[in-house]
Amino acid sequence: MGILDFLSGQFIDVIHWTDDTRDTMVWRFEREGHEIKYGAKLTVREGQAAVFVHEGQIADVFTPGLYMLETNNMPIMTTLQHWDHGFRSPFKSEVYFVNTTRFNGLKWGTKNPIICRDPEFGPVRLRAYGTYSVRVSDPAKFLVEIVGTDGEFTSGEISFQIRNIIVQEFSRLIASSGIPVLDMAANTQELGKMLAEGISSTIAEYGLTLPELYIENISLPDAVEKALDKRTSMGVVGDLDAYTRFQAAEALGAEGSAAGQAMGTGFGAGMGMAMGGAMTGAQAGPWGTRPQQTAAAAPPPPPPPVEHVWHVAVNGQTQGPYSKARMGRMATEGQLIRDSYVWTQGQDGWMRAEDVTELAQLFTVLPPPPPGA
């Protein structure tokens, strides 16, 4: 050490700390050789505490104020040094300034989901996050338990440990609370107070307190939230039967609109009146009871069969076309016999009349030709 440094260490007699950061919790006053002049002035500002460490032991703790470092102001240091009232030499000691103000806006959150039993949904996985503030309540204990010999200690160095303590206590609290998942949003304030009380004893062992702790959100997995949204949608719909009929009416209305463009507005208007009457009847119920479902409408009748017309081959020429009734008269008059060849649309070639099922019945009322005819 140079002579100038030695002299400056002997004669600088003002000890103080001006914090220009927002996250420094502990700062060590640096002096060459840790030498402090007897009778030096110590300034401790509001929101600070000064801890003297002598030969590795906590000596004195000073709260906000202006002090003259003499034997009457340092009782523990005087006992350790075996000073008498006439002692005037410099002494060696480390001075740690501890920030005792609140550190706000610190975040906590569950890294992995917490499994708990919900009275309505059964086993569910929950995530949560929030913020908290921390303050040093016992500077000496905080220095011994957490800081050690670190010359500059920030809030980020303790936030990870506090976050783990909060998450552990939150897991225990949420699993034993018995509060349904759907009611947790209304109880976050109460849960936050219970959580802060639950970890207060553990935090106090570090010389800390948590003035504020907030639970900002408790959420379910994405898949469960989607299922919950569907259930909510069902609750908004209400009567599923009525909603189904409404959707069917909407679909038929769209089809009726397309049909109306092709077939005219009359058919669409008739369909709308029929649908309106059906829905009105379905929704009506006696004495305000739940509407009863109406019977299903009867299916429309099948289309009438297509009547064939026939051609008859006579002497190599085609005659016709004839209706089935005309063919019956021809069979009665003998102009159409069993061996006559006939043809109609869709038939594969000429066929004998008695081989056609539709015409064979025309000959059942006539006797067959006599033997030997």
- Give the confidence band of 334 by pLDDT, cuts at 50, 70, 90: confident
- Give the confidence band of 6 by pLDDT, cuts at 50, 70, 90: very low
- Averaged pLDDT score across all residues of the chain: 78
**39 vs 5, residue with greater confidence:** 39
> What pLDDT score was predicted for residue 99?
95
- Residue 85: pLDDT over 60: no
Read off the tokens for 82. 């075996």
For residues 327 and 361, what is the distance between their CA atoms, to the nearest angstrom?
Answer: 11
> What pLDDT score was predicted for residue 285?
47
**151 vs 270, residue with greater confidence:** 151
Scanning the structure block, which residue is given the tokens 């959150």?
Answer: 109
> What pLDDT score was predicted for residue 224?
76
Read off the tokens for 192. 């936050």
- Give the confidence band of 367 by pLDDT, cuts at 50, 70, 90: low
In this prediction, residues 287-302 reach a mean pLDDT of 59
CA distances from 197 to 148, 161, 203, 206, 210 (A): 27, 17, 10, 15, 9
In this prediction, residues 217-246 reach a mean pLDDT of 74
Give the domains, in start order, of the chain with CATH numbers: 3-99 (no CATH), 103-224 (3.30.479.30), 310-363 (3.30.1490)
DSSP element (H, E) containing 351? strand 351-352
Residue-wise pLDDT for 162-221, tens only, equals 999 999 999 999 888 888 888 888 888 899 999 999 999 999 999 999 999 999 998 887
- Residue 11: pLDDT over 70: no
3-class secondary-structure state, position 178: coil
> What pLDDT score was predicted for residue 267?
42
- Give the confidence band of 9 by pLDDT, cuts at 50, 70, 90: very low
Entry pTM: 0.55
Rg of the chain taking only CA atoms, in angstroms: 51
Q: Which of 30-34, 148-152, 161-165 has the lowest mean pLDDT?
A: 30-34
- Residue 296: pLDDT over 70: no
- Residue 62: pLDDT over 60: yes
Count CA atoms closer than 13 A to 99's CA, side-chain side: 19
Select, from the ranges 216-230, 233-247, 358-372, the one with the highest average predicted confidence (pLDDT): 216-230
For residues 40 and 118, what is the distance between their CA atoms, to the nearest angstrom?
Answer: 64
Select, from the ranges 110-114, 218-222, 240-244, the one with the highest average predicted confidence (pLDDT): 110-114
- Euclidean distance between the first and final Cα of the chain, in Å? 154
- Residue 339: pLDDT over 50: yes
